[in-house]
Amino acid sequence: MFRKELAFAGRIVMVGFGSIGQGTLPLLLRHIDIRPDQIVIVTGDENGRQVAAEYGVEFHATPLTPANYRSLLQPCLSRGDFLVNCSNDVSSVALVALCQELGALYIDTCIEPWAGGYTDASVKPDARTNYALREAAMALKRPDTPTAILTHGANPGMVSHLVKAALLNIARDTGQPAGTPKDRAGWAQLARDLNIRTIHIAERDTQVAEPRKVPGEFVNTWSVEGFVGEGCQPAELGWGSHERHFPADGRRHAAGCKAAIWLNRPGAATRVRTWTPLAGPIHGFLITHSESISLADYLTLDDNGGPHYRPTVHYAYHPSDDTVQSVHELAGRNWKMQAQHRLVKDEIVSGVDELGVLLMGHPKGTYWYGSRLSIQQARTLCPHNSATSLQVTAPVVAGVIWALKNPDRGVIEPEEIDHEPILDFIRPYLGEVVGAYTDWTPLADRSRLFEEDLDHDDPWQFLNFRVA
């Protein structure tokens, strides 16, 4: 079932070794012909030292800062080496620029700022958006530089490949004559031909850990700091060409690709209606993610007057029940993190992470395509992983392998990578891969107990998805 994909003679430097780093390490050693002494871990605390020792990997607990990251990383990285960034609070832009200087390859799971960049009240909200972080990273695109894959975890990352597969499935099931598009314009045209109006990254995490959350504690199944950071950023979404009700708290960007907008409120305080096959209709948090921008940008068809086609794209996340309660408590504290926080992995006793893409507006209505992975399956498939982490770590390693085979592609996003080899690699780690059609819309079964400002003529307006 599992095989070595290729041999690598260089060094892998892992920055950050929380739940994602710890889950990535055994997959790197499983699928790449590399010795443990070729891997170095540089992380901010002692968390994970025991896991590193289990695999015989060098471990350094030294937080990276703007003042020391060069002096700490430069001795570890030479031309052809690989930096795998699984960190929080370390600038992705700084690390990509360093790798370009040294001739090293790079991958991360999201575009991170330096510590405090998500929540610094002295920084204007639009400068704390993922839009701004993406623009800064994309400014590093240059020809003839080592491959640097941005945002290649579960979401962002895997979900962009799932969208391409879902588009092809819908085309097949609706009798749309379409081969696999060869370029960005082809994928955008296929989405337009299918009348895809809205795309959600729709996720429901039902994992349960024992002991349960207690007051004054933030509990999460992947990263507490990471989730609180992005939850405190402004909500963001790719803004579709069909939208006709601009949000009262919405803001546009003056520069850049202009494929997305932001809301003047935290993502963890913004809820939207969505749907997954197991959960049915749910309310999710509109947490900002890079795929909301990159997918909307990638699937845009432009003319001289602006986009004549673009879908609305955003994340709709219902985390574990203990995490929902943690967010509720966090909001009550005016977004000041609780004194205690707990990342759960070994404590998880049951549950499934159902993560996929929800494509809406096509002739069959609504289609969800994604991964349904239980905690029991995840533990069987790879040590040091939960259902949530394995959906991230498998795409990380798939991206590493792709970069090693394509080492001179410069700064690149998931949408620019051929989806088929990535999905072929990660599919054994995704549990049950499911495609499901439904007649659900955000107008379904809406209560008449209250007057709501809805657009009954077009169910796919963001106005109808947003929870007032």
Compute the distance between CA of residue 212 and CA of residue 152 in angstroms, rounded to an integer: 31
Asked whether residue 397 is domain-assigned, the answer is: no
Looking at the fold, whether 382 and 286 belong to one and the same domain comes out as yes
The verdict on 237 and 334 lying in the same domain is yes
Any residues with CB less than 8 A from the CB of 227 and at least 6 apart, and which? 220, 287, 319, 323
Structure tokens at 323: 């995490």
Could you tell me if 253 and 282 lie in one domain?
yes
Q: Based on the domain organization, do 87 and 173 belong to the same domain?
A: no
Task: Identify whether residues 72 and 202 lie together within a single domain.
Answer: no
Token code pair at residue 228: 């609180």
Domain identity same for 344 and 446: yes
Query: Are residues 188 and 145 located together in one domain of the fold?
Result: no
pLDDT tens digits for 193-221? Answer: 999 999 999 999 999 999 999 999 999 99
Render pLDDT for 249-266 as a digit per residue (tens, 0 to 9). Answer: 999 999 999 999 999 999
Which CATH number do you get for residue 362?
3.30.360.30
* Residue in this structure with the two tokens 């889950």, named with its chain if needed: 23
CA distances from residue 43 to 229, 260, 282, 420 in whole angstroms, order as listed = 18, 33, 36, 33
Count helices and strands (H / E) in the chain: 14, 25
DSSP β-ladder status, 260-266 and 250-252: antiparallel
Structure tokens at 302: 């432009």
Q: Write down the pTM of the prediction.
A: 0.97
Domain of residue 35, CATH code:
3.40.50.720
Name the band, by pLDDT with cuts 50, 70 and 90, for residue 395. Answer: very high
**Do the beta carbons of residue 15 and residue 85 sit within 8 Å?**
yes
Q: What is the pLDDT of residues 67-105, one digit of tens each?
A: 999 999 999 999 999 999 999 999 999 999 999 999 999
75 with 130, same domain? yes
C-alpha–C-alpha distance, residues 155 and 370, integer Å: 11
240 & 116 share domain: no
Whether residue 10 is found in the same domain as residue 32? yes
If 0-12 CB within 10 Å is exposed, 13-18 middle and 19+ buried, where does residue 135 land? middle
| Shared-domain flag, residues 74 and 166 | no
Q: How confident is the model at residue 267 (pLDDT cuts 50, 70, 90)?
A: very high
Q: Is residue 449 scored above 80 in pLDDT?
A: no
Amino acid at site 345: K
Residue after which a domain boundary falls, among 149, 171, 192 = 149
Domain boundary, last residue among 94, 116, 149: 149
pLDDT in tens, 124-134: 999 999 999 99
Q: What is the mean pLDDT of the chain?
A: 96
**Is 335 in the same domain as 193?**
yes
Tokens of 227: 């989730």
Does residue 404 belong to any structural domain of this protein?
no
In a domain, 403, yes or no: no
Q: Which two tokens stand for residue 135?
A: 């623009």
Dump pLDDT digits (tens) for 105-116: 999 999 999 998
* Domains in the chain, number: 2
What letter would DSSP give residue 254? S
Identify whether 247 is part of a domain.
yes
Task: Look up the domain containing 250 and give its range.
Answer: 158-386+422-465
Residue 180 has pLDDT above 70, yes or no: yes
Give the C-alpha separation, 230 to 153, whole Å: 15
The pLDDT of residue 448: 72
Q: Which residue has 């794209």 as its token pair?
A: 313
Q: Give the domain-ending residue among 131, 149, 167.
A: 149
Q: Is 411 part of a structural domain of the chain?
A: no
- Report yes or no on 396 lying in a domain: no
Q: Write phi, then psi, for 231 (nearest 5 degrees).
A: -70, -25
In the chain, the amino acid numbered 94 is A
> Is there a domain that residue 398 lies in?
no
Please determine, for residue 452, whether its predicted confidence score (pLDDT) is greater than 90.
no
| Per-residue confidence (pLDDT) for residue 146, from 0 to 100 | 98
Distance set, CA 183 to CA 156, 194, 310, 376, 417 (Å) = 20, 17, 16, 39, 10
Flag whether 251 is in a domain: yes
